[in-house]
């Protein structure tokens, strides 16, 4: 029989907006910054875990398999099995899902599952022509051959390619993620005014959560090597309004597009961890679970409309558990783009779409906005790609506890045409 799986604790770093050049923390630095205080407050030793699973998309050359590097730096022991998972925006949730399945099936009792990303450390890449020129220079034999090879250099060979820009472009459709959001918004008639209003509300909600102390115990202060400290998500703009956001130009589809820098998720660095445990581990270490994972589901769709991934992954998840949208009291739907979030909400409320695509009898229903992303989301705090799926599960659990709700869903769209969803219940 499948065993129950509990989320007993978790923490994350502040999400730090990428600015000029690499930020103060690498992916492993970030994982360690929030991992240390999380492990320090547990009633068991760091080496008590069965394994460590960490989501990370932009792994840097100095930190291959960041899960293992982080586990060693966290003092979890040389015999700690640790591996890194990558499914684009779903990587942080994939780490939880993999851990959930290991524990559910009896192969482990306690796993540290996380996500980390330092998008500010995404590399500049040489053009292929430049790489070939350098290879020719390096392999040329003799002084004359090297001089001749050197003279073949062209200025365009040295023009760097922004690795992050290519990483956020789908290699099959050649659409970047912002363009896919435009497509999803166009399918359901989402307007620029709606997107800007949604984005402004995201900032307002995060600012309120910060001032009200709702993130206390979830966000750990991070300390850089030069002595600076970072104690809050620094991309929030409390003064944002639909009117001020309306002044920004479209980024991806000019001049008529809906997606701007103001109603998109921010390029950000951050990490998050959750501790998953079996009932045996809960009893052994006298832990107090915060929530239980009931089920999870992954789905795939056309990469050009990847933003509808939550619709495709959540719907069968709810059906499998005999639930409807109205039965879910708290929702975390990752805010990749305001237009994309609104497109998902419109899809569930569209009878024709639900019949023809989802196989339902009619519209699935409408998500009450007071139940959705109650403390803001990626538009206001950022979207470190490998981390966000972990953060939304962690925050969902904390928000449910604060609000006293019983059932929640965390879901996200995933670059490449995927979607992930997880059903959580309070205990």
Q: What would the pLDDT profile of 157-208 be if each residue is shown by its tens digit?
A: 888 888 888 888 899 999 999 999 999 999 999 999 999 999 999 999 999 9
Q: Indicate if the alpha-carbon torsion angle 24, 164, 267, 297 is positive or negative.
A: negative
- Active-site residue, 354 included: no
Distance, in Å, from the CA atom of 402 to the CA atom of 365, rounded to the nearest integer, reads: 25
pTM greater than 0.75 (yes/no)? yes
For 268-306, b/e burial (b = at least 16 CB within 10 A) is bbbbbbbbbbbbebbeeeebebbbbbbbbbbbebebbbb
Dihedral, CA atoms, 401, 266, 333, 272, nearest 10 degrees? -50
99 token code pair: 């851990």
Q: Which of 117, 31, 43, 100 is nearest to 285 (CA)?
A: 43
> Is the distance from CB of 217 to CB of 10 less than 8 angstroms?
no
For 144-175, b/e burial (b = at least 16 CB within 10 A) is eeeeebeeeeeeebeeeeeebeebbbbeebeb
- 177-214+291-426: CATH topology: Peroxisomal Thiolase; Chain A, domain 1 (3.40.47)
Pairing of the two strands 291-300 and 407-414: unpaired
Burial class (CB in 10 A: 0-12, 13-18, 19+), 107: exposed
Give pLDDT, residue 255: 86
29 token code pair: 């630095």
Distance, in Å, from the CA atom of 341 to the CA atom of 321, rounded to the nearest integer, reads: 23
For 71-91, how does the pLDDT look when each residue is reduced to its tens digit (9 = 90+)? Answer: 999 999 999 999 999 999 999
For 235-275, how does the pLDDT look when each residue is reduced to its tens digit (9 = 90+)? Answer: 999 999 999 999 999 998 888 899 999 999 999 999 999 99
Q: Provide the residue ranges of all domains of the chain, joining segments of one domain with +.
A: 177-214+291-426
Q: Looking at the DSSP assignment, which residues form a beta bridge with residue 250?
A: 260
> Is the distance from CB of 308 to CB of 301 less than 8 angstroms?
yes
Coil/strand/helix, residue 134: helix
> Is the distance from CB of 96 to CB of 113 less than 8 angstroms?
yes
φ, ψ for residue 354, nearest 5 deg: -65, -35
- Active-site residue, 56 included: no
For 8-53, how does the pLDDT look when each residue is reduced to its tens digit (9 = 90+)? Answer: 999 999 999 998 889 999 999 999 999 999 999 999 999 999 999 9
Dihedral, CA atoms, 240, 246, 251, 257, nearest 10 degrees? 140
How much is the average pLDDT of 128-150?
93
- Active-site residue, 344 included: no
Question: Looking at 121, 203, 383, 395, which residue is catalytic?
Answer: 383
Question: Looking at 34, 89, 344, 354, which residue is catalytic?
Answer: 89
Q: Looking at the DSSP assignment, which residues form a beta bridge with residue 87?
A: 89
DSSP state of 8: E
């Amino acid at each position: 029989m499948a065993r129950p799986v509990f989320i007993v604790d978790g923490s994350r770093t502040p999400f730090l907006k990428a600015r000029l050049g690499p930020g103060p923390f690498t992916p492993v630095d970030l994982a360690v910054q929030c991992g240390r205080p999380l492990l320090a407050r547990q009633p068991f030793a760091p080496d008590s875990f069965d394994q460590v699973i960490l989501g990370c998309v932009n792994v840097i050359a100095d930190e291959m398999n960041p899960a293992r590097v982080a586990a060693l730096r966290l003092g979890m022991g040389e015999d700690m099995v640790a591996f890194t998972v990558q499914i684009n925006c779903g990587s942080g949730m994939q780490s939880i899902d993999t851990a959930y399945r290991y524990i559910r099936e009896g192969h482990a009792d306690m796993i540290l599952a996380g996500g980390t990303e330092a998008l500010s450390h995404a590399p500049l890449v040489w053009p292929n022509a430049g790489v070939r020129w350098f290879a020719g220079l390096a392999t040329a034999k003799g002084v004359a051959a090297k001089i001749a090879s050197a003279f073949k250099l062209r200025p365009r060979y040295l023009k760097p390619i922004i690795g992050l820009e290519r990483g956020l472009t789908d290699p099959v459709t050649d659409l970047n993620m912002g363009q896919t959001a435009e497509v999803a918004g166009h399918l359901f008639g989402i307007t620029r005014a709606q997107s800007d209003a949604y984005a402004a509300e995201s900032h307002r909600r995060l600012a309120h959560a910060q001032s009200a102390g709702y993130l206390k115990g979830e966000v750990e202060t991070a300390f850089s090597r030069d002595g600076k400290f970072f104690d809050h998500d620094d991309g929030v703009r409390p003064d944002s309004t639909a009117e001020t956001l309306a002044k920004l130009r479209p980024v991806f589809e000019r001049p008529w597009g809906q997606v701007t820098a103001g109603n998109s998720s921010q390029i950000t660095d951050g990490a998050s961890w959750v501790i998953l445990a079996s009932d045996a581990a809960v009893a052994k270490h006298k832990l107090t679970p915060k929530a239980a994972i009931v089920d999870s589901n992954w789905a795939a769709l056309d990469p050009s409309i990847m933003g509808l991934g939550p619709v495709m992954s959540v719907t069968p998840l709810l059906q499998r558990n005999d639930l409807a949208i109205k039965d879910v009291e708290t929702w975390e739907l990752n805010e990749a783009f305001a237009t994309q979030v609104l497109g998902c909400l419109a899809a569930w409320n569209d009878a024709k779409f639900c019949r023809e695509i989802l196989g339902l009898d009619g519209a699935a229903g409408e998500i009450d906005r007071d139940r959705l992303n109650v403390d803001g989301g990626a538009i206001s705090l950022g979207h470190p790609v490998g981390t966000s799926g972990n953060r939304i599960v962690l925050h969902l659990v904390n928000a449910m506890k604060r609000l006293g709700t019983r059932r929640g869903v965390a879901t996200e769209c995933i670059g490449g045409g995927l979607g992930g969803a997880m059903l959580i219940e309070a205990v």
